Amino acid sequence: MRAALTQDISAPVAFVLPGEFIGEGYAGTWEDSSRVRMDSWRRALTAYTDGTVVDLVFGRGTGSFAYLYLGRDRVSYPHNLLVEVLFENGLIGLLVLLSCLALPIAPFFSSVTRARMARDLKVRRVVAVSLAFYCYGLVHSQASGDLATNTWLPVAGVILVTVFAWIRWEARSTDVVAEDARRALRSA
C-alpha cells in the first residue's frame, strides 16, 4: 500500500524535478528511509559519545555531519534536530536549543494564561490549536529536515508566543478597565 502511494505521488513529481533528484530522493521504500535515518542517528550519536571532552561540550562544528556520514563536504543531516545539534554544536548547543524550544511554551504555565483559559472557551481553543501546531513542529523536527529547513518550528513558536502575548494583553486591558470602573465607583 505504501509503495503504491509513493508511486502515485512521485509520478507527477517526475515531470517537474530532474531525474537524478528523483533517483536519489524518491527511490526505495519507506522502510529504506527509516533504516537510513536510524543509521544516521546511530552514527552521529556514536561519534558524539566517542569524541573528546571538547567535542562533547562544543560539538564537531556546524555542518560537520556530512563529513561523518558521507566522508565529504556535501549537504547532509541526520533528519533529527536534537541529534544534529548535539553532534555539531555539542552539549552547549543542545542546551541553547532546548531553552529556545521551551520559551514559547513557558507562558502556558503562567497564572494569567491559566485564569483566562478557565474563563473563556475561545481562548482555550486558540491555545489548544497553537500548542498542537507547535507540538507537530517539534515531532516533525525529530524525523525530517535540519536546523535550517525546519521552518514549522519557528513559525509555530512565533504563533504560540503571539497567542500568549494576546492573552496577557487582553488580561491587562480587562484589569485596567476593571480598575477604572472601581475608581469611578469610589469617586461617585
CB 39 within 8 A of CB 33: no
Ranking 45-49, 85-89, 131-135, 171-175 by mean pLDDT, the lowest is 171-175
The residue assigned the cell 524550544 is 101
The pLDDT, as a whole number, for residue 176 is 65
Pair 41, 78: CB distance under 8 Å: yes
Q: What is the pLDDT of residues 104-156, one digit of tens each?
A: 998 888 877 888 888 888 888 888 999 999 998 888 888 877 777 788 888 89
Using CA atoms, how far residue 100 sits from 28, 97, 131, in Å, is 36, 5, 15
Average pLDDT along the chain? 78
- Whose cell is 505521488? That residue is 9
Distances (CA, A) of 112 to 59, 122, 159, 160, 165: 39, 15, 18, 15, 11
pLDDT at residue 31 in the model: 62
pLDDT by residue (tens digit) across 17-49? 444 444 444 455 556 777 888 888 888 889 899
Q: Taking residues 5-15, what's their average pLDDT?
A: 40
Look at residue 95 in the predicted model and tell me its pLDDT.
96
Q: At what angle do helices 152-187 and 81-102 cross, to 10 degrees?
A: 10
What's the pLDDT at 64? 83
Judge whether residue 52 has pLDDT over 50: yes
Overall residue count recorded for the chain in this entry: 188
The pLDDT, as a whole number, for residue 116 is 80
Matching residue, cell 515531532? 139
Q: Confidence band (pLDDT; 50, 70, 90) for 10?
A: very low
Q: Provide CB contacts within 8 A for 110, sequence distance 6+.
A: 164, 168
Residue 72, all three cell numbers:
565529504
Judge contact between 48 and 55, C-beta under 8 A: yes
